[in-house]
Amino acid sequence: LCFFDFHHDICFASGNFILPLLFNSFRSVTITYWEHAIRLLGKDVCIQLMKDLLDVLKKKDAKRSVEFLQEQFRMFLKMTANH
């Protein structure tokens, strides 16, 4: 649940009032995603991924932030295809 809250808070901090509502509408899917990621990667790796995301966002580099998220999605899709 803390993984969902972390990402929801990022959506809220964006200043876009629609984004947190949209994110919240996918709450159960997102929680399932993180549960699966934690089982496959371990909680320490997932926590590090959140820290890495926060570091990227703090730099306020939109292009790099998008690239980072795309890399994470590709990694997860590749990983889940094997399980």
pLDDT at 64: 93
Contacts 24+ apart (CB under 8 A), 54-61: 54/10, 57/10
What is the average pLDDT score of the chain?
89
6-45: pLDDT as tens digits: 888 988 988 999 999 998 999 998 888 888 888 988 999 9
Q: For residue 1, what pLDDT is reported? A: 66
Q: Dig out the tokens for 44 from the structure.
A: 């320490």
Please tell me the predicted confidence (pLDDT) of residue 4: 87
- What pLDDT, on the 0 to 100 scale, is given for residue 11? 87
pLDDT at residue 83 is higher than 80: no
